[in-house]
A and B are shown apart, each in its own frame.
Chain A
Amino acid sequence: MKTNELISKLKQSDVRAVARLLTLIENEDKNVETVLKNIWHLTGKSYIIGITGPPGAGKSTIVDLLAKMALENNFKTGILAVDPTSPFSGGAVLGDRLRMNSAQKAGIFIRSVASRGHLGGLASTTRFMINGLEMLGNDITLVETVGAGQGDVEIVKVADTTIVVEVPGLGDEVQAQKAGILEIGDILVVNKGDRPGSDRLAKELKMMLSLGEHKKWTPPIITTTATKDLGIDELWNQIMNHREHLENEEINQTRLGKIKYDLENQLSQHLYTRKLIQIGENEIENMAERIFNRDIDPFTAIEEIIKQ
Chain B
Amino acid sequence: MDKAKIRVLIAKPGLDGHDRGAKVIARALRDSGMEVIYTGLRQSPEDIVEAAIQEDVHFIGLSILSGAHTHIFPKVIELLKEHKAEDIKIIAGGIIPDQEIPKWKKIGIDAIFGPGTSTIDIIDYINRSVK
Contacts and interface: CB of A to CB of B under 8 A. Distances in A.
Interface residues on B, range: 20 to 34
Interface in B34-55: 34-40, 47, 50-51, 53-55
A97 B26 contact: no
Interface string B110-128: 0000000000000000000
B4 to A, nearest CB: 5
A148 to B, nearest CB: 20
B39 A93 contact: no
Interface string A269-289: 000000000000000000000
Interface string A4-33: 000000000001100110110011111000
Contacts of A89: 30-33
B98 interface: no
B54 A93 contact: no
B29 interface: yes
Contact of B30 (A27, A91, A116): A91
Interface stretch (A106-114, A199-207, A254-262): A106-114
B51 A27 contact: no
A16 B34 CA distance: 21
A94 interface: yes
A15 B54 contact: yes
A93 B26 contact: yes
Nearest to A98: B40
Contact of A114 (B27, B35, B54, B83): B35
Nearest to A92: B35
Contacts of A114: 5, 35
A197 interface: no
B82 interface: no
B29 A91 contact: yes
Nearest to A23: B56
B20 interface: no
B2 interface: yes
B42 to A, nearest CB: 9
A109 B4 CA distance: 21
Contacts of A98: 38-40
A214 interface: no
A8 B56 CA distance: 18
B85 to A, nearest CB: 7
B3 interface: yes
A35 to B, nearest CB: 14
Interface in A59-88: 85-86, 88
A13 to B, nearest CB: 13
A211 to B, nearest CB: 42
Contacts of A104: 47, 50-51
21 contacts: A16-B84, A19-B54, A27-B4, A27-B5, A88-B31, A89-B30, A89-B31, A91-B33, A91-B34, A93-B38, A94-B37, A95-B38, A97-B51, A104-B47, A104-B50, A110-B51, A111-B54, A111-B55, A112-B35, A114-B5, A116-B5
Closest 6 pairs (CB-CB, A-B) = A91-B30, A19-B56, A98-B40, A90-B33, A91-B33, A23-B56
Interface of B: 1-5, 7, 26-27, 29-40, 47, 50-51, 53-56, 83-85
Interface of A: 15-16, 19-20, 22-23, 26-30, 85-86, 88-95, 97-98, 104-105, 107, 109-112, 114, 116
Given A92-B30, A109-B54, 17 more contacts: A16-B83, A16-B85, A19-B56, A23-B7, A91-B30, A91-B36, A92-B35, A93-B36, A97-B38, A97-B51, A98-B40, A104-B47, A104-B51, A110-B51, A112-B35, A112-B55, A116-B3
